[in-house]
Amino acid sequence: MKLIHCADLHLESRMDSSFSVRLAKDRRRELLLTYKRMIAYAAEQGVAAVLIAGDLFDSGKVSRRAVRDVLSEMQARPEITFFYLCGNHDKNNLSSLSALPENCKTFSAEWRSYPVGDVVVTGIERFDESAAESLSLDPSARNVVMLHGQLSSGASGNWNINLKSLAGKYIDYLALGHIHSHSFGRIDGRGKYAYSGCLEGRGFDECGEKGFLLLETEGREIESTFVPFASMALHAVNAELDASLVTRAELEARTESAVKDIPASDMVRVSLTGERGAELTVDTDYLSRVLSEKFRFAKVIDASRLAVTADDYKNDVSLKGEFVRLVRGSKLTPEEQDKILECGIRALRGEDI
Ligand SMILES: [Mn+2]
């Protein structure tokens, strides 16, 4: 039997702090479309159940339209059972927002179990130490447990999950949500845990491949395979500068070489790193504009340092030497020093500041 384990869809996420209003809106539509596409995939593959391990929505405030969109997809696939566990973001349980279709099962602050095919799906919202103690599973069943939170070596509770408290509890597969990249590990000799990660990246802290886990329950152990499924990816890359770069064209070429293997439909953020010479003018707005013509979204940020040290000018008696030593010897932050040096050196050269 096949199952899908997904989490952290964060539908209706605003995303307008990183992107334009228009792009953010477009991405919100895409989050919903990817959810719909995943369900179509589930139907095609004959998946028996879809486990949503929390944060289906980005907040407790959900539009009626979004709830309708989500539920109508479930309704249209009565052959698939949907297990929806609330996370820390979507505090309002779906059931408080709308009547649920027959095939959508939810959880609460007490353990609930549902048999589906050859497994039993058990879950609880707000897992803590006492919940761990009260978990009692049938050792002879194939047990899938759903929880939302981060793995922690401390006490369970407040979205922390201590795996030790789940060892020896007859769990075969622990479907986790909350961490936005996928990972796997073992609970004990019998069971394993997995994070599916989020379905789509929403910012540059969610780079790389996103998707869900496809589970196969028939073997000796429940097998899980990561299925990349996002409509696009975000990439945060570095472009290392050095003192050999002088012209705008050279800087542009260096920046472009950092993103040459990234598909145009993706989003990129390039951080300029390393050391630049004082002759080079870094115009990140210009570079962002250049890359924006090639990618769906592009942003260039300058994290490079100015390759001018007081030591370089130790014995320099010129005004420039005095200026460099004065600035480098000041209590200003290195970034402030770089800015002042750049302006000053340009002024000494008679250029525009
Ligand atoms: Mn979460």
Q: Tens digit of pLDDT for each residue in 54-91? A: 999 998 888 888 899 999 999 999 999 999 999 999 87
Whether 6 and 116 share a structural domain:
yes
Residues 6+ away with beta carbon under 8 Å from 44: none
- Determine the Cα–Cα distance for residues 5 and 146; give it in Å rounded to an integer: 9
Whether 261 and 340 share a structural domain:
no
User: If you measure from the C-alpha of residue 58 to the centroid of ligand 1, how many angstroms do you get, rounded to a whole number?
Assistant: 9
Where in the chain does DSSP place strands (E)?
2-6, 49-52, 81-84, 104-106, 112-116, 119-123, 143-148, 150-151, 160-161, 173-177, 183-186, 192-195, 211-216, 223-228, 234-241, 267-276, 297-302, 305-306
pLDDT of residue 352: 74
- Mean pLDDT value across residues 309-328: 88
Q: With a cut of 90, say whether residue 122 has pLDDT above it.
A: yes
Residue reference for tokens 């050792």: 139
Q: What is the pTM of this model?
A: 0.90
Q: With a cut of 80, say whether residue 184 has pLDDT above it.
A: yes
Residues 6+ away with beta carbon under 8 Å from 312: 324
Paired tokens of 290 = 């250049």
Whether 251 and 303 share a structural domain:
yes
Query: Which phi and psi angles does 220 have, rounded to 5°?
Result: -65, -40
Whether 13 and 106 share a structural domain:
yes
Whether 27 and 10 share a structural domain:
yes
User: If you measure from the C-alpha of residue 118 to the centroid of ligand 1, how many angstroms do you get, rounded to a whole number?
Assistant: 28
Where in 2-108 does DSSP place strands (E)?
2-6, 49-52, 81-84, 104-106
- Determine the Cα–Cα distance for residues 165 and 316; give it in Å rounded to an integer: 67
- Mean pLDDT value across residues 272-279: 92
How far the first Cα of the chain sits from its last, in Å, is 68
- Mean pLDDT value across residues 157-163: 95
Q: 179, 207, 228: which is the final residue of a domain?
A: 228
Whether 296 and 321 share a structural domain:
no
Whether 122 and 47 share a structural domain:
yes
User: If you measure from the C-alpha of residue 188 to the centroid of ligand 1, how many angstroms do you get, rounded to a whole number?
Assistant: 24
User: If you measure from the C-alpha of residue 9 to the centroid of ligand 1, how many angstroms do you get, rounded to a whole number?
Assistant: 10
Q: 178, 209, 228: which is the final residue of a domain?
A: 228
User: If you measure from the C-alpha of residue 51 to the centroid of ligand 1, how many angstroms do you get, rounded to a whole number?
Assistant: 15
User: If you measure from the C-alpha of residue 88 to the centroid of ligand 1, how many angstroms do you get, rounded to a whole number?
Assistant: 5
What is the total count of domains within the chain? 3
Cβ atoms of 124 and 151 closer than 8 Å: no
pLDDT of residue 81: 98
Neighbours of ion ligand 1 (CB under 5 A): 55, 87-88, 178
pLDDT of residue 37: 98
Q: Residue 157 carries which DSSP code?
A: B
Smallest CA-to-CA distance from 48 within 7, 83, 85, 79 is with: 79
Whether 329 and 247 share a structural domain:
no
CATH of the domain at 164: 3.60.21.10
User: If you measure from the C-alpha of residue 86 to the centroid of ligand 1, how many angstroms do you get, rounded to a whole number?
Assistant: 9
Whether 253 and 152 share a structural domain:
no
Whether 219 and 289 share a structural domain:
no
User: If you measure from the C-alpha of residue 140 to the centroid of ligand 1, how many angstroms do you get, rounded to a whole number?
Assistant: 31
Q: Using pLDDT thresholds of 50, 70 and 90, give the confidence band for residue 93.
A: low
Whether 17 and 80 share a structural domain:
yes
Q: With a cut of 90, say whether residue 50 has pLDDT above it.
A: yes
Whether 215 and 242 share a structural domain:
no
Q: With a cut of 90, say whether residue 44 has pLDDT above it.
A: yes
Domain carrying residue 239: 232-307
Q: With a cut of 80, say whether residue 132 has pLDDT above it.
A: yes
SS3 251: helix
Pairing mode, if any, of strands 223-228 and 211-216? antiparallel
Q: 181, 211, 228: which is the final residue of a domain?
A: 228
Cβ atoms of 233 and 239 closer than 8 Å: no
User: If you measure from the C-alpha of residue 201 to the centroid of ligand 1, how many angstroms do you get, rounded to a whole number?
Assistant: 14
Q: With a cut of 80, say whether residue 96 has pLDDT above it.
A: no
- Determine the Cα–Cα distance for residues 199 and 303; give it in Å rounded to an integer: 30
Q: With a cut of 80, say whether residue 353 has pLDDT above it.
A: no
